[in-house]
Chain A
């Protein structure tokens, strides 16, 4: 009986995997979804104001700007002004969405974010695009690999890293109902859907187990959750290893309970993120596991304390040992 259920579950998870990993499926742009969603919000709510720092064509806030000219402010190439002026607008009763590249939005304006935005706990949403290595050819100066770490260190800010276009839309809808600082981290490249099923009810605070597995768990965030699924499928096909894949969009506050549940049942947890292994998802998972009653090994995959460089996103993943094949190989070593 039990075996049957497990079998059924297995085959179900297999078809889901197949569905998810179907390469003929179209990729979608998180950035477009962001711009279009903002424009919808603008219709619904008069108090919404959007700001950008000379990157509206890339961040797609230009979609909002075209419709609501009077509620869009481009501060020019001035990210510090972007943040503090948004804070002012929020103090004047507006709900403000600001955008730039992840590097400049969080990096250039860090202290403004800490002392004005977060200390005053204001309703400003920083929605930054071009995170991580997948920025590609622009190289190290534009590849934000530390943004989660530096945002995470600040009290009061919620941090979310969606895996696909669907989830991007969902977290934006949630942001309408949440009146405090948020950092939402989007990618430059179009991404495959991870969440395609109506039956997945979105709870922004909860980790999602996207694929079940008994041998170990990989916890991932952002666009790399798709890569985690690919990794799992390689491990299954080539080594018959059953890797559970858990996606955590909400990096702060993080879903401790789900992480502890993993630690309870697994000997090893792997983490995967398009970010430095210092201060990102992996570090948060370690913190939770260390403080729990369930000692377990945590192995972090991400950029290993180094700067990026120019290259295509695919080449960069390979150079930094982050392709699903390379990760599967590493994981296998820990499980035999």
Chain B
């Protein structure tokens, strides 16, 4: 399916693996110390967001010119904020020490990403279903400015796709041929009330996107090579927006959280915490 195979080096993959483990540990510590937060949907997207920042997203902002040319990232599933902050810490946007202020009064690291508190956040999120439409708007703006370089990446939850605003945006991106929009769907098959298939099935998601004139890539969302390949391929799209359907497991990385809906939005107790740390070390 992929036209231009790209490869991660052995060293890169080793580094990514190590970073992924650090990120999961950070997420765990943040949610544990905050006594609240969302681990499941953070863990399912670790490889997706890490690979994006490590390889495919141009997030360098050295001067005004490069700032304009940067790629944009929107965390539409804003409840995965702990993941976002842990990744930002890996890339030097926030300090490691700051991570433990997560969800505390006055912290830059609000429960859901807030542009008001943390200025490297492109847009505040937390209310599901709005990110793709925001991405479309930015993408249109970039086109008006003849910026052909910058891409707009947006990370969506699969449950989130049930929002009407999402389908309005899918239609609009296809219609406007927004080849600079890359939607990543964290398809972990779970939402709060259970399996997405039981709550409100998305059925054949790939065909749905395709019928709205999108390119679709279906990948293993925990495999660095597949993720990297999909991102790079999507960046080459000439006239269609791209959707990467990433098959993942919610809570991936810790056995008792893996594919378990109960870990959507709760903090571990001390025993669970120690067990999880043990597994991740």
Q: Chain A interface (Cβ within 8 Å of chain B)?
A: 52, 54-58, 62, 74-78, 80-81, 103-104, 107-108, 136-142, 307, 309-312, 315-316, 319
Contact = CB atoms under 8 A, between A and B. Distances in A.
Contact of B192 (A57, A103, A104, A309): A57
A140 B192 contact: no
Interface residues of B, number: 33
A52 B164 CA distance: 16
> Which of A58, A104, A310: most chain B CB closer than 10 A?
A310
Interface string B112-128: 10101100000011111
Contacts, number: 100
A139 B192 contact: no
A294 B196 CA distance: 58
A240 to B, nearest CB: 34
Nearest to A103: B127
Contact of B111 (A52, A54, A138): A138
A81 B192 CA distance: 18
Contact of A309 (B106, B193, B199, B200): B106
A80 B126 contact: no
Given A76-B162, A77-B163, A312-B105, A137 B36 contact: yes
A308 to B, nearest CB: 10
Contacts of A142: 111-112, 126
Nearest to A81: B164
A77 B128 contact: yes
B133 interface: no
Given A54-B199, A74-B193, A137 B164 contact: no
Interface of B: 34-37, 78, 103-107, 110-112, 114, 116-117, 124-129, 159-160, 162-164, 191-193, 196, 199-200
B103 A137 contact: yes
21 contacts: A54-B200, A55-B192, A58-B192, A76-B199, A77-B129, A77-B191, A108-B127, A137-B35, A137-B103, A140-B112, A140-B114, A140-B126, A141-B125, A141-B126, A142-B126, A307-B116, A310-B103, A310-B104, A311-B103, A315-B105, A319-B105
Contacts of A141: 78, 111-112, 114, 124-127
B interface SS class:
loop
B163 A309 contact: no
Given A76-B159, A76-B199, A309-B105, A139 B112 contact: yes
Nearest to B112: A141
Contacts of B129: 77, 108
Given A54-B199, A141-B114, 10 more contacts: A54-B191, A54-B193, A56-B193, A57-B192, A137-B36, A138-B112, A140-B126, A307-B116, A309-B114, A310-B110
Contacts of A55: 192-193
Given A57-B193, A75-B200, A138-B111, A80 B105 contact: no
A283 B104 CA distance: 31
A76 B200 contact: yes
A112 B112 CA distance: 26
A78 B127 CA distance: 11
Nearest to A312: B105
A333 to B, nearest CB: 26
Nearest to B200: A76
A74 B129 CA distance: 17
A137 B160 contact: no
Contacts of A56: 193
A241 B35 CA distance: 40
> Which of B36, B78, B103, B116: most chain A CB closer than 10 A?
B103
